[in-house]
Amino acid sequence: MKIIKKIFITFLSAVSLCGCAVRTDIIPQNNLALSQNDSQYTEISAQTVCDEITGQLSAENSDVYFDAHINSDMIKNAVALFKKQNPDFFWLNGYTIVTDNRSTKIEFNILNNYSADELSEMHSRLTDTAQYIASLAENCESDYEKILFVHDYIIKHTEYDFDGAGSGQNGIWGTAYGCLVNGSAICQGYSEAFLEIMNKLGIECGVCAGDSERGRHAWNYVKLNDKYYWLDLTWDDPESSESEYGRLEHKYFLINDEMLMRTRSLDQSQYFIPECHSLDDNYFVKNGCYMERYDIDEIGSKMSGYSESREISIMFSSDEVYAQAVCSLFENEDIWSALTYVGEYSEIKYSSDDAMRVITIDF
């Protein structure tokens, strides 16, 4: 007797309080064996299934066929890997598995029911735009500078899509296309756009998701100088928060696990979760604005180095040092001593971020 199973998988999870819908197509990292009765695919891995998905979807198919029974966990692994390697296939919107003991079919759903002609044109626009940005980044001397350039470029050219975030539905705003071509996206779109460009630059990168203090959320990791780091383009874009418009930031640029976990938790059922322990290439460390102790003369000296931009952000290593800096600078008015290092100034403004232990001073 042939038993046919049909399983529908959607990429859309529950919408968060802040409205940032995150696709749940990221699953545990393992290579699950197929049924012992399978022959052609007995020793298959998630990468093998992923390669077959890539080949058949690249041939403009929306269904992928296997002459073997492949269990749903293996398919979830393979689809997650496919999404990591191919964020340019932005139109995939969940899938259905139809399987019996001799064959498996994956029926992919198409976002917004785009036609084949529409998808072909849109795909070309996306890849051309991503390649253009990657070519600009190639002018940078180091991988650090390339990552920084792409981080800043995406933020400068993207508006956070509050309507899309609040819709409770999958949409183009949650894709690399929405971010890079339409210039409007939610966190998933920012993250997949960054992944698409990193892939073109040959820099290892991925997307992870979890619950944050703002609700469901997605962000990136990268590998730089043989070490993994987290970065969050959406939260470095001040327009992603309706109450905090302002300058482009780097508070979440190449941070470690401890910094990340101050504001969120990770879904543990992800295809890959890197261990991020280093701060060697953190933005504040690289720019000499990371302080492990409070020293007003050192702060003044650092401010003098930013006398042209007239603004500086300083990150502190602990809650204690950060609290001492806030109190001493602004309650005890040490800021006036620091200003003796910068010469003339018109007015002083400052903001502080307790979670990331960052003080920003405009002078």
Top pLDDT among 133 and 3 is at 133
- Taking 80 as the threshold, does the pLDDT of residue 15 lie above it? no
The β-bridge relationship of strands 159-160 and 184-185 is parallel
Q: Provide the 8-state DSSP code for 7.
A: E
- Taking 50 as the threshold, does the pLDDT of residue 124 lie above it? yes
Give me the pLDDT at residue 41, please.
Answer: 47
| Sequence-separated (6 or more) residues with CB below 8 Å from residue 67 | 40, 41, 102, 103
DSSP class per residue in 121-189 = HHHHHHHHHHHHHHHHHTTSSSHHHHHHHHHHHHHHT-EE-HHHHTS-S--GGGSHHHHHTSSEE-HHH
pLDDT digits (tens, 9 = 90+) for 60-87: 888 999 999 899 899 999 999 999 999 9
Task: Give percent of the chain with pLDDT exceeding 90.
Answer: 76
Give the range among 164-173, 200-209, 296-305 with minimum mean pLDDT. Answer: 164-173
pLDDT digits (tens, 9 = 90+) for 190-201: 999 999 999 999
- Taking 80 as the threshold, does the pLDDT of residue 322 lie above it? yes
Tokens of 342: 């910068």
- Taking 70 as the threshold, does the pLDDT of residue 27 lie above it? no
Amino acid sitting at position 16: S
Give the range among 1-5, 283-287, 291-295 with minimum mean pLDDT. Answer: 1-5
Give me the pLDDT at residue 13, please.
Answer: 34
- Taking 60 as the threshold, does the pLDDT of residue 242 lie above it? no
Residue-averaged pLDDT of the chain:
88
- pLDDT band (50, 70, 90) for residue 5: low
- Taking 70 as the threshold, does the pLDDT of residue 357 lie above it? yes
Give me the pLDDT at residue 6, please.
Answer: 56
CA distance 34 to 180: 39
Give me the pLDDT at residue 34, please.
Answer: 36
Give me the pLDDT at residue 285, please.
Answer: 98
Mean pLDDT of 229-248: 82
Helix and strand counts by DSSP (H, E) for the chain: 13, 15
- pLDDT band (50, 70, 90) for residue 26: very low
pTM: 0.88
Top pLDDT among 6 and 344 is at 344
- Taking 70 as the threshold, does the pLDDT of residue 185 lie above it? yes
- Taking 80 as the threshold, does the pLDDT of residue 147 lie above it? yes
- Which residues are paired to 291 by β-bridges? 316
User: Which letter, b or e, does each residue of 272-298 get, where b requires 16 or more Cβ atoms within 10 Å of its Cβ?
Assistant: ebbebebbebbbbebbebbbeebebee
CA distance 67 to 99: 10
- pLDDT band (50, 70, 90) for residue 36: very low
Mean pLDDT of 200-206: 98
The closest alpha carbon to 97, from 81, 108, 88, belongs to: 108
Mean pLDDT of 146-155: 98
Give me the pLDDT at residue 43, please.
Answer: 62
Residues across the chain? 363
CA distance 267 to 260: 13
